[in-house]
A and B are shown apart, each in its own frame.
Chain A
Amino acid sequence: MTAASDMMGGRSATTAPAAIELRGISKAFGPVQANRNINLNVPKGTIHGIIGENGAGKSTLMSILYGFYKPDSGQVLVNGQPISIADSQTAIRAGIGMVFQHFKLVQNFTVLENIILGVEDGALLRPSLSKARGVLKQLAAEYQLNVDPDEVIENLSVGHQQRVEILKALYRQADILILDEPTGVLTPAEADHLFRILEGLRDEGKTIILITHKLREIMDITDDVSVMRRGEMVASVKTSETSPEHLAELMVGRKVLLNVEKTPAAPAAPAAPVLEVRNLTMTDDEGVQRLRGIDLDIRAGEILGIAGVSGNGQTMLLEILGGYPPKGSKVAGEIRMNGQPLPIGGRGCDAAQRRRAGIGHIPEDRQVEGLIMDFAAWENVAFGYQDAPEFTKGMLMDNAAIKADAEAKMERFDVRPRNANLAARNFSGGNQQKIVVAREIERNPDLLLIGQPTRGVDIGAIEFIHKRIIELRDAGKAILLVSVELDEILALSDRITVMFDGRIMGERLPENTTTGELGLLMAGVTDTAHTPDDAGIPPESAHVETLPQEPA
């Protein structure tokens, strides 16, 4: 950005048409107004952030740009030309490329096959494949997008799969690249690498739209940022002229505490730990060892945070502690709760037994493990505790008591709408999570297992849930927190351990560590003292240029 354009107060003074301009876009699904009169102006060659809570309408807006939905009213202009995007093919021809949050890759195809899919040059594959191979080589050299073109997608790391998605868009000659929550699945180092790629693309004149809910990313990389709230575009500002606090306020519509306020932990020091895990190993049904000797201690009155990229064994650890090891797996080791050994498999090892032992569990996937989506909220509030004396009358369930209890909990946790008869499915992500959190926290467990407490939860609810977790800790309970969000781990934990490939890579204190150091541990580098922070990118696949022209 030059000083001159800054002085002119934005880019309206420049003559080049915007890469994308939206005028008065509206879209309703039945009674829900997903987008209302949206105006957006994305100048060429910039990185434009779009930020907003879940359900604010970001994804709908991008789906309109990519031809999945037709807007009810309004106009889309690409490079100054009005255009009607009826389907994805039109969007692709207009130079718009999309990298979805959930990759649209064929898992058992090679990188090359995925790249040419839909833009083959003729009825036969061979010429298209060899042309794509050449183009890929060129793109790799230009933008540091190295991927082995003959590798099968399912063998690639998530970061590399994302590169394939970007390459797909570039191969279709996209000038405008839309990325939907691109860093959700990446390690910090992988995310940094992605950002360098995006900056490289911008410097080549490409336009990038970045959809995210992470304020830090917006501040780090974007030139401009637009904020959406409840279907409306509430602000478009230059990133350099705003602050995270200001953006958060715009998103939620009120002031938000970004930093969790908490006092130092006061664990009951000399006493025995609440939970002891010794040499826990787990081998899954395919014979792959997924946990390789986990040792943990959690004392009363402290939060132990487990950081790591998803898929490194955290889920299995939570499931085993929660009493339901994955089907067909072999578990060995020792778990002691308040000094008493817990069964780790076979008879007597189930979630109910864990609850009786004083373990509460907020599972990672609320929609699958935490709730029954088609059951009413009041029923969901009783799940797992349906046998509790206050919920039963003789042989029967005391529905009136359960309902009253559910309504009280929904009141205390500010679940909206305050309607206990509504099916869990009809609540927003944040409110669904509050139902689960209310159920588990209000039972006052000695140990609370928490997996991804704020995944897909809006900022307002995050603040609330974090506060409740701290309160439980201050009441002298032990808490095990598993999260892929490093910011969350750093904000809540009293101690942090990092898991990688089924192992604990190390333990750090939040006040003595950095995201960079944790990122190295998350990538499997233990020697954090002698490695630069940006080295934590997983080993590269073979470089394109070192590969033979044709596969053997």
Chain B
Amino acid sequence: MKLKDSLIALIVLAICLIWAFVDGNAASQGIGSAMRLMTPLLLACLAGLYSERAGVFDIGLEGKMLMAAFSAASVAYLTGSAWLGLLAGIGGSLALSLVHGLASITFRGNQLIAGVAINFLASGLTVLVGQNAFGLGGRTPALTGAGRFQPINLPFAETLRDVPVIGPIYSGLISGNTILVYVALLMVPVTWWVLFRTRFGLRLRAVGENPASVDTAGVSVTRLRYAAVAICGILCGIAGAYLATGLSAGFVKEMTAGRGFIALAALIFAKWRPWQALFATFLFGLLEAIANLYPNLDLGIITIPSMFMNALPYILTVIILAGFVGRAVPPRAGGEPYVKER
């Protein structure tokens, strides 16, 4: 791998090391928190990766996650099972994916406009249904016990806690996360393998670059794109469910808070590649964790106000989208509905 490709990984590693050097305990706590904050971003980013690699731009990640968070929280509250909540979350997100697919694949509509519509739809629908069902101003009642995903303690986490270096990393970072965090991490190599080592992945990438090549090879462009959009829906569903039943305990109005768009920025930052997506989303998670841990960062001479710290991920998003990270070439057929030519 070229140095340029591992640039994000190096930046992330450098931040972690410096932090650990300056304040070891806080770093261990912060990096653990960053991993949890990264999880929804990473899942949404990989969701977008499947969709956009197949040539369907999806700015509706935000809306799908929001819808998933709401349906997951509602069902988890009503049934008391986080797992049923997860299924409901995936279902809610998939339904919106189907709308996106219909609009942009079958009816060859504008993918961006369809995405915007999905965001509005989810934003309005969740609050409306939530208020009607629970009467809490769009919130769902707080989840407790089995209604939430609980942290999993890996074996030996307690015994190894006091071992220097390895101890904090194993017990503080690797152990003690909910199952969905591990799922998200596992999705990175899985996505890489699917994209670059399987027939499905080859065709998926081809359909995002030059759908005519797939069509003339006798493979259905429509079916491939629907498959990609459906995978995108499932991953967004897990991301949303994690937000409502893992990271927090219940649904709050607009709880995605732009994470869908940050995931898109990370996707561009990562140049549509799975491993880079992991590091890019981790960088965003790290910034959010730092902002949470040091509301007023005191650098001796000046104190950075908390508003600025909280805005950091969004500022970085703007910088990335403005193209300050070098040329990011999107899939060539992205955004274009496929029309068979004569």
Interface residues of A (CB under 8 A from B): 59-60, 63, 66, 68, 87-92, 98, 100, 104-109, 113-114, 116-120, 122-126, 128
Contact = CB atoms under 8 A, between A and B. Distances in A.
A63 B202 contact: no
Contact of A106 (B197, B198, B199, B210): B210
B216 A87 contact: no
A118 B203 contact: yes
B297 interface: no
Interface string B182-223: 000000000000001111111101100110111111110000
A108 B216 contact: no
B210 A105 contact: yes
Contacts of A89: 218
Interface in B214-261: 214-219
Contact of A117 (B196, B197, B217, B332): B217
B207 to A, nearest CB: 9
Nearest to A91: B218
A125 B332 contact: no
Contacts of B199: 120, 122-125, 128
Which 8 A-B residue pairs are closest in the complex by CB-CB distance?
A: A118-B217, A89-B218, A104-B213, A120-B199, A88-B218, A104-B216, A106-B209, A106-B206
Contacts of B213: 104-106, 114, 117
Contacts of A120: 199, 202
Interface of B: 196-203, 205-206, 209-210, 212-219, 332, 340, 342
With most chain A CB atoms within 10 A of its CB, the pick from B206, B214, B217 is B217
B203 A117 contact: yes
B217 A119 contact: yes
A122 B198 CA distance: 9
Contacts of A119: 217
A98 B210 CA distance: 17
B342 A60 contact: yes
Given A68-B342, A92-B217, 10 more contacts: A90-B218, A104-B216, A106-B206, A109-B205, A114-B213, A118-B203, A118-B214, A118-B217, A119-B217, A125-B198
Do most interface residues of chain B lie in helix, strand or loop, or is the interface mixed?
helix
Contacts of A107: 209-210, 332
Contacts of B217: 88, 92, 104, 117-119
A262 to B, nearest CB: 37
Contact of A124 (B198, B212, B218): B198
A60 B218 CA distance: 18
A116 B198 CA distance: 12
A63 B200 CA distance: 27
B342 A59 contact: yes
A130 to B, nearest CB: 13
Contacts of B342: 59-60, 63, 68
A87 B340 CA distance: 12
A123 B216 contact: no
A87 B218 contact: yes
Contact of B202 (A60, A88, A92, A117): A117
Contacts of B200: 123
8 contacts: A90-B218, A92-B218, A105-B213, A106-B213, A118-B214, A123-B200, A124-B197, A124-B198
Contacts of B212: 104
A180 B217 CA distance: 17
B206 A117 contact: yes
